[in-house]
Amino acid sequence: MIANIARAGLLLAALAVAGCSESSVTDFVPQHANRQLSAKIMAEMKAKGMNKSSPVLARVFKEEGKLEVWKQKTNGRYDIVASYDICKMSGKLGPKFTEGDRQSPEGFYTVRPGQMNPNSSYHLAFNIGYPNAFDRANGRTGSNLMVHGACSSSGCFSMTDAQIEEIYAFARDAFKGGQTEFQVQSYPFRMTAANMARYRNDPNYQFWAMLKEGYDHFEITKSPPKVDVCEKRYVFNQIPEAGGTFNPTGACPAVTQPQALQTAYQAYKSKYDAAFASATGGDIPAPKPTIAGIKEAAIVSEWTKRRARGERVTLEPPAMAQDGSIVQTTARMGRIDSAEGRRMAALDAAAEAKKKAAEEKAQAVAAAKAAKLAAQQQVETAAVPQTAPEATEAPTQAAQVAPVEEAGAATKLKKKLLNLFGS
């Protein structure tokens, strides 16, 4: 008996130890979250001097519709390892301003292990970390901005399920290799001189010029820039002097920057400035639609709230023209397919049915009143004597007959007298 109890205790202990192992933990994660990178990708990584678990970063280019995964090589610099077509993305070029504006963020974001979601309703997902310190300092709002699967988006970067499995695997392996966080750089477009020239008159241009400094630092160093925020703006690769700190809404501290980076940046910028001047003087493609600041964001946000309540709205949100007027982008109306949408549809249908019943009842009452009035008029008409016209004619006829009868009597009397007395 005692031996059996002891053996049972050893079995429970073994099960308890097994319950803490990595293999058992992953049993609670969907299998697609454990997908391994293909042999082809592994071979490409090896050829570029990358390890499976080396650090990663992601870059997003909204106008081009691309999401790139970059990975660190053994020399410390990063190189692109994969590029994906973004399956779906809502909004226009330009940053996200407020909850519900359907904009996907632009800026520099950080993803940590806790932001990875293997049990997402959208197959797999990771939260990019919006709003960051810059967004909060500038009063921008929103939440749950993801890179996810299922190809469905309202402000997120949505990929196909196969794509997100691969992207997720890159990040998962990097975290297993010791990376504590990875950077997501989200840009409106590739920040070349030609593209910056195209949007030089856009209201978002100053914001984009600020992002471009971080973009340039990465292009020069092929390493994620150190990102901080002070005076409500981004600063890159700056090191505060002793005792200094970065306050997102406060004054920027005294800083230093590696001399080699400053020199490289100035050389890079000189070439860029020449290319920019050349681009502005020639024919350039027309820019794509961009968001017209917080005012348009507020308009779209209100549309989103109405849609979420299940109200019947235009299929696409309204937009703001350059003159500040609001324009409808479509005349087609619809309602969100959700519990709220169906509830509101039922309420609207009931209200419409009630209105129609009331109209039909009013029409029936009006018809009944009209019929009753017509009947009364018929009764009154029947009660009036119809001999009046004949009475007016009788005296005339008598007047016409009387002289004839009187003339005849006189003639007869005259004849009698003549007969009696002779002619």
Task: Name the DSSP letter for residue 118.
Answer: T
What HEC string does 303-349 produce? HHHHHHCCCCEECCCCEECCCCCEECCCCCEECCCCHHHHHHHHHHH
SS3 content of the chain, % helix, strand, coil (to 5): 45, 15, 35
CA distance 234 to 254: 15
- Which CB contacts under 8 angstroms, 24+ apart, belong to 74-77? 74/49, 74/50, 75/49, 76/223, 77/221, 77/222, 77/223
Work out the number of other CB atoms within 10 angstroms of the CB of residue 362: 10
- CA-derived radius of gyration, the chain: 45
Catalytic annotation present for 156: yes
Closest CA to 201 of 278, 272, 286: 286
Q: Which of 87, 123, 156, 230 is catalytic?
A: 156
Torsions phi, psi for 346 (to 5 deg): -65, -40
CA distance 169 to 34: 7
Task: Name the DSSP letter for residue 54.
Answer: S
Task: Name the DSSP letter for residue 216.
Answer: H
Which structure tokens are listed for 416?
């009698």
Q: Which of 87, 148, 217, 230 is catalytic?
A: 148
Catalytic annotation present for 123: no
- The residues annotated with a catalytic role in the active site are 148, 156
